[in-house]
Structure 1
Amino acid sequence: MERTFCITLFSSWLLLAFIIQAQSRPLDVRSFGAKSDGVSDISPALTSAWKKACDSPTPSKIIVPKGTFGLGKVTLEGPCKAPIELQVQGTLKAPQNPSLIKVGEWVTILYLDHFTLSGGGTFDGQGAIAWTQNDCSKTSECNKLPNSFSFGFLNNSIIRDITSKDSKLYHMTVLGCNNLTFSHVTITAPEHSLNTDGIHVGRSNGVKILDSTIGTGDDCISLGDGAKQVSVTNVVCGPGHGISVGSLGKFKNEEPVVGFLVRNCTLINTLNGVRIKTWPASETGAVTDMHFDDIIMRNVSNPIVIDQEYCPFNHCTLGIPSRVKISKVSFNNIRGTSASAVAVKLVCSKSLPCDGVHIGDVDLKYIGKLGNITTNCVNVQPAFMGRQNPPICAQNRNAQSS
């Protein structure tokens, strides 16, 4: 009887192990009909694999193997019963014609806990046609072109070891997320690709961007309203418009931006360095607890910027001050070369001057031929620590001493 009991127990264990193994076996999209011919749309296969993974009570992995696959507009949505990893090893190509994606994003990922996107693969947005349709320079509203990614309401999740190439508009947008990490991500698009921001974070808490390389036609990283406790570490940015907070104040009921740490980053051949920007004649808002530490600038125009008169293409009213309050900002150990004579621009609001601006060691050399390196400071009285080259806000200091 004891032998029979042991055999039964062992058989039950084998059955359980088989079930667990079957449930945890990776789901290859080819098993759901995906073809790696670079043309056929694999979104139905990916959606079917996603449904099976989402319904699984144990953690699942979906694999897009090496090869080139076409991918139409797709939404991968939870909540799911267990964590899911989407491992993209190959290249996924978006439709070249933006109208084939219609409204929204190319890839939308929503309402998940403990989600992972990985694999070393490439998402190719094929944005060249879309860039010719971008009319931001002519009107105050851009064409509604599709972003490559929308990450919405993800918790405790990670995006790692993937490449986003040639998005039609933004590469990645983040909204309503908590504790989301980007690690070893590569984002690339030509310098002339308008509004192809790398990673845009809004209304999210605890977003980390680590050990990544971003080069686009707009901001490498940008923060919108409601971004809180965002950190950027060991990121190389360029080409592009730099690392930016804003622009803010354009819309009513924008949430405060609180807690931004950028450290140990390198910016190369960018239009701006580290920047905070708000619209004049703006709605009310607040930006506080911003810190930029250990930044290398290489041939960067406008390396350090606070601009509360941000007015691209003159689509605004410059004579009315911004109503976004900026406070508790620090720039420390920022060094390298400036491609413009004005290396530091701190232009704050006349009605709400910047408070608590601290400037530590700064060493910037101008490599152009348009005179001597200078700084421009308006409606701000920074506190200084260490050494500054060039002397920052010299006119303010002279006014105080007289």
Structure 2
Amino acid sequence: MSARTVFSPYRRLFAVRGSVAFSLAGWVGRLPAPMLGLGAVLLVEDRTGSYGLAGAVSGTLALSYGVAGPQWARAMDRRGQAEVLPWAMGAFLLTGIAFVATVVADGPRWSWFLLAAAVGASSPNIGSLVRARWSALLDPAGRQTAFAFEAVADEIVFVIGPPLVTVLATLIAPPVGFLTGVVLGAVGGLWLAGLRVSQPPAHPLGTGPRPRWWAVLTPTLLVVVVTYLAVGTVFGGLDVVVVGFAEAEGAPALSGAVLAVFAAGSLLAGLVYGLAPLPGTLAARFVGTAVAFGLAAQLLWGVGSLPVLAGCGFLAGLTIAPVLVSGTSLVESRVGPGVLTESLAWTISGLTLGVTTGSALAGAAVDAWGAQAAFAVPAGAAAVAALLAVAGGRFVRDQPVVAAVGAVRIEPPIDG
């Protein structure tokens, strides 16, 4: 079988006119995801010498991002991405610059938290916006491939972002790493906003009673969000612990490269997951991948050096994309188009709220126990993620679905 045949599902995705543009714009817009959290840690730790404070500030940014994301998504479901994104990106750029200026000027500590919260609150989840566009164009079989591709795009961001922000922050100046993430995010978001024709149709509220905001939180969505809360705790914990461990090993500039190894494993797994004709139900895949994720992260207990950490990170990374793709696919299969973007945004909010928890816990653990012992935070959180998925399995059961990979329905060409 030729490589052309193997990768034909991915080639068919981009046969839709405009898909290359919105996917690339969304990729650029997602670069802040790995850069701002780590950039805030590097910036604040450089100014104060405290990983605890750095983790708390970074966690505050992630917390506000997680809370605000579904609100932005709801507005875009109602009004359209092109109408809402420019306002969000303008606020994101201004608050990001203000945060850096305040930290560099050694402003009051409370203002650091306030502005970090403002940065997160002004940043919509770009990944959910891109996935909503794919969902409007493809049938379920095509969406598995598209969502797997988006997971790969996420991981490429996490391969490039951590080393980039680390190099900029350590070799040039700590503010440069954070500011670069802000600028790239604004550019990607504004670019995506300009691609009007490929955006999903808006679903304005009718004249009837306004639905309650929590109506979107179905049992399936809640199980995935709660599980992703634990998964995000792993991610947030790793950001802080890896930086502390690399510094303890005398190689702080390598922290971004080590984090990129985790993403590289996930990237590889995401590519394979998007091509494999997987049997079973979407719910079974979600539970199974969550258990694999929980088990693989236990390798972190054996970390004693940077090379060992890189090896364990690659193996653990192989389980990241599958659990993210399976959860997103499960949620997407259970919601209507009027709340699709919001539902997908809630899954990302679960991750980012977990990042908040992980950053805070790991920062305190590094200060109290040392970096090596602090790997208990991400390892323990991964085990909790597996247990939550298993416990919630009975609430997300569905009918068997065998993905016919390659059966991507191509809609009429669109511009964008």
TM-score under structure 1 length normalisation: 0.21
TM-score under structure 2 length normalisation: 0.20
